[in-house]
Structure 1
């Protein structure tokens, strides 16, 4: 594999129909290529079932590829996401860990539907299933799409505000993996663990410092600095956190759908030049 440049259009965070995206892995690869992406990873939520398709599609489109997944973690009472990159997608420990994490989604979804029924929204579980590519991964996003289609809200952000966040009728918490387990699954398979979109979490400064400290202590090595949900000010903030904790920097749009996502594949600014890109640490894992 030729050396990978430190400055390139890498998009290492997106989702397909295998989890809560609306495009197939093949369609995502074509879109990435059309948008000038040079290094791509598919990072479905708690699922690696799309990895073979994504790798084959990347090859067919002339894209360099890293395996990926976004693992849901509970930390300090909040759901945090850890992106794994470059791991062995055939590692049985990773597959089993993600399967265990997914198991709670079905019962949680039925509880969400019950909560919505109490406020007059009936058939939400069945409605959400129509938007699910993988029934084991039914999520709040699928409920949101149903509620928009059914006319209860004008768009998915409104659904989350009114129905699917803490204290609202359709909100049900879920106990995910712990931070140590998620990082271990990724690293034991030869990959690198990355804190996804840290600006999204509602942590105070002490809690955020604890997240970064424990993450690194468990073997985590990267953080998303430039990502679709970060503001330019947060690019600067988390570049500083990468420097402070000695973490490599990652870049990813968190693209889910042409109709819903704030940022398209490959549309982000480049990483700050003084940071170590996570792909430099994964050069031998790039396909």
Structure 2
């Protein structure tokens, strides 16, 4: 179901397929009224099109998706509504960029050892056109004939728990939540269903997130099913969290995921939307 609000999507400033301006055009074409560009560890895409979105009448909320870890596992936290000029978020972006670059080199080294083949890092950088992430390695591996498709690249080498899944270096979840809050924003626990946690562990994660100052969690995200959305809604209600929604759109794909595609958001008397604060 298409929503008029999408608070989680990506551009070429991180690992998305569309340039920021093209993403704005697509959002308007899909009748989205409120959008947040949440590129991984950077607000560059938002800054590039903030004025353009305003000119076109789109309510563009400042956003970012920060990488972190909790109990040694990777957790993503979306920040919404930060002051993009605040020194805390600017410094956070610088530090995350440094970690991301070191991480990319580690991934390349691990893949070389596993595959017994050289990884041309400059070629991966060229594919990225900016900061290198796992999707760029996947694309490189396909083009070099190392794997038949991107799905195989993640299933065998780059997905959770695989050789290319490098978590070391990311700050603790508590730290990135504080960055967001200190920059005037609200912290949102991103796509909780992706982490494959038991209910008990997910509740522990939510509790730690709240203790750090987190205010919301995504309860309607992309192609998750209604059962997953319903379970997350109950957790948000029980814990007193605001709800957020987003497609996590990275670019057109064969599965039908697009901007605004997500399960329907609950009624406001069930869970209050985080966007009501902007």
Alignment map for 1:4-23 (pairs within 5 Å): 9-23=4-18
Shift of 1:262: 5.4
Deviations 1:237-271 (A, max 9, x none): 10111101111111101111124775100122330
Return the alpha-carbon distance in structure 2 between the equivalents of residues 231 and 203 of structure 1.
17
Cross-structure match for 2:249: 255
C-alpha spacing 1:209/1:261, structure 2 compared with 1 (3 Å): same
Give SS of 2:128's match: coil
Aligned residue pairs total: 274
Cross-structure match for 1:194: 188
Cross-structure match for 2:136: 142
Deviations 1:77-135 (A, max 9, x none): 1100000001101101111122212212222222222222231332342332122132x
Shift of 1:212: 0.7
Cross-structure match for 1:222: 216
| 1:85 and 1:193 in contact (8 A); partners too | yes
Q: How well do the aligned residues superpose, as a CA RMSD in angstroms?
A: 1.9
**Unpaired runs of 5+ in structure 2?**
none
- 2:269 aligned with 1:281: no
Of residues 20, 23, 26, the one that matches 1:28 is 23
Deviations 1:196-220 (A, max 9, x none): 0000003223321111111112211
**Unpaired runs of 5+ in structure 1?**
1-6, 283-287
Return the alpha-carbon distance in structure 1 between the equivalents of residues 119 and 254 of structure 2.
23
Deviations 1:116-164 (A, max 9, x none): 2231332342332122132xx3111110111122233333221111111
Greater than 6 Å deviation, 4+ residue runs: none
Return the alpha-carbon distance in structure 2 between the equivalents of residues 148 and 37 of structure 1.
34
Return the alpha-carbon distance in structure 2 between the equivalents of residues 31 and 164 of structure 1.
29
Cross-structure match for 1:285: none
Return the alpha-carbon distance in structure 2 between the equivalents of residues 147 and 160 of structure 1.
10
